[in-house]
Amino acid sequence: MDFDRRELIRAAFRAREYAYAPYSHFAVGAALLSQSGKIYTGCNIECASYSVTNCAERTALFKAVSEGECNFTAIAVVGARTDRSDDSLITSPCGVCRQALYEFGGAELLVIMAKSEDDFTEMPLGKLLPLGFGPEKVV
Ligand code: THU
């Protein structure tokens, strides 16, 4: 897929700066590329009532959908604890986010899980969520 991965990853790192994660200390940023070429970003937002937490991926997705964008080609995700400089792990979207992304990107959506602009793993959402349950099943 032909687009600037470094730019998308950079946007995810910028979004991560706004992460509100006082409970887990795990800050996540996401940048979602729409079919029209626009980038929507999001961070994780935690609450004292922990289950209310919204992941970075869904923050980006809901921002985009609420502005009329419903088709996406790729998402970059970056995450790390705020109190450690351990960048050995990639952050892969949680199950809930995989399902939400599947709704608007389908199996082809490219998921880029990055440690840095130059060090990342990518795979289609269909590999992270095999046999996904999408809108075509219910209409
Ligand atoms: N989190 C995300 O925002 N995205 C992911 O892909 C994994 C987890 C957040 C939720 C919570 O605020 C923190 O990371 C620790 O689970």
Which of 47, 49, 55, 125 is the pocket-test mutation for ligand 1 (most atoms within 8 Å of CB)? 55
pLDDT at position 117: 96
Domain boundaries, the chain: 5-126
The ligand 1 atom nearest the CA atom of 91: 6
Nearest to 111 by CA among 94, 123, 128, 101: 123
How many whole angstroms from 29 Cα to the centroid of ligand 1? Answer: 9
The token pair at 43 is: 């961070």
pLDDT at position 126: 98
- Which of the following CATH numbers is that of domain 5-126: 2.60.40.10, 3.40.140.10, 3.30.540.10, 3.30.470.20? 3.40.140.10
CA gap 15, 81 in Å, rounded: 15
CA gap 3, 20 in Å, rounded: 29
CA gap 115, 79 in Å, rounded: 8
pLDDT at position 84: 84
42-90 pLDDT per residue, tens: 999 999 999 999 999 999 999 999 999 999 999 999 999 999 876 678 9
93-137 pLDDT per residue, tens: 999 999 999 999 999 999 999 999 999 999 999 999 999 999 999
Is residue 136 flagged as an active site residue? no
